Amino acid sequence: MTVPFAAKLPVFEPGTVWLAGAGPGDPGLLTLLAAKALAEADAIVHDALVGDGILDMANPGAELIDLGKRAGRPSPKQEEINARLVELARRGLRVLRLKGGDPFVFGRGGEECLALAEARIPFRVVPGVTSGIGGLACAGIPVTHRGFGTTATFVTGHDKAGGLPADLDWDVLARMPGALVFYMALGTMEAIAERLVAAGKPAMTPIAIVSSASTEAQSVIETNLAHCARDVVRLQAKRPAIIVVGEVVRLRGWIGEWQQTVGHQFSKTAVSA
């Protein structure tokens, strides 16, 4: 693929690492820098969230290294990933570390940068479209809207141990005047809803669960705090899913029908009964 404006983009030097976000899935949402890195990399270290449509754009000569979690196989330890990146760069390769969404949003990109800096490997961070903003957009949900609050809060639904993070302040979250966007939260949806309602968030607050945002497999479940736990099971919510709690979800009714964003044209919607 020829990358538009390629001449104006920085040179991808051998022996360096580009840590890039691949966006939520639609190759059209890649940045020019990420597309250039895909076309020129000698080694591409990616995780499970980076779809085939994007990897199809890779330099045919590149070594593809899948370090994502796959069925039956645990994801490699972060130290192993860091060591791999350092080793590939020291071999003089152009190394693309490609992550779903944005590398710094719940993506451990910061840890990899620290390891590269410590090993004195030059690197470039290429931000990407995060699922909690762009993924919601592809489902017809603006993460902020003037009529519906003044904040957008990004929260991880699980910690290193796999449970709900212990340090979340549910009273504060319940009072935030805007959307709450939960990553990695399908498994803890029930606990999240219980805690928010117990902290005073109205039980009828709308929720959208957007699965495989921006891809042909995109699907959306519209529900609310009172019914989301039941609907996740009944409507078989699929991973990866981004979950937004807040009044902005109501805008889907007006925006969804008219927008042509990739994903939407395929998107199936299930609405809570």
Stretch that binds ligand SAH, among 1-9, 33-41, 88-96, 238-246 (CB under 6 A): 238-246
Minimum Å gap between C-beta 8 and ligand SAH is 26
Minimum Å gap between C-beta 135 and ligand SAH is 5
Q: State which of positions 174-193 bind ligand SAH (CB under 6 A).
A: 183-184
Please tell me what DSSP assigns to residue 132. I
- In the list 85, 113, 242, 245, the residue contacting ligand SAH (rule: CB under 6 A) is 242
∠53-103-67 over CA atoms, to 5°?
60
Q: Is 47 a catalytic residue?
A: yes
Check 26, 184, 189, 201 and give the catalytic one: 184
Exposed, middle or buried, 60 (CB in 10 Å: 0-12/13-18/19+)?
exposed
Our finding on whether 246 is near ligand SAH (CB under 6 A) is no
Quote the CA–CA distance of 21 and 106 in Å, as a whole number.
12
Grouping H, G, I as helix, E, B as strand and the rest as coil, residue 256 is helix
Q: Which residues contact 145 (CB under 8 A, 6 or more apart)?
A: 248, 251
Shortest CA distance to 174 belongs to which of 220, 148, 205, 140? Answer: 205
Our finding on whether 127 is near ligand SAH (CB under 6 A) is no
Q: Tell me how far the alpha carbon of residue 102 is from its chain's centroid.
A: 7
Our finding on whether 210 is near ligand SAH (CB under 6 A) is yes
Stretch that binds ligand SAH, among 67-75, 76-84, 87-95, 104-112 (CB under 6 A): 104-112
Check 26, 36, 47, 201 and give the catalytic one: 47
- In the list 17, 27, 33, 101, the residue contacting ligand SAH (rule: CB under 6 A) is 101
| Cβ nearer to ligand SAH, comparing 12 with 106 | 106
| Cβ nearer to ligand SAH, comparing 48 with 83 | 48
Q: Which residues contact 37 (CB under 8 A, 6 or more apart)?
A: 12, 18, 20, 94, 96, 98, 126
Our finding on whether 44 is near ligand SAH (CB under 6 A) is no
Please tell me what DSSP assigns to residue 11. P
Residues binding ligand SAH: what is the number (CB under 6 A)? 23
Spell out where the chain has E strands.
17-21, 43-46, 63-66, 95-99, 123-126, 151-156, 178-183, 206-211, 219-224, 241-245, 268-271
Q: Residues with catalytic annotation?
A: 47, 69, 184
Binding site for ligand SAH (CB under 6 A): 24-25, 49, 99-102, 105-107, 130-131, 135, 183-184, 210-214, 240-242
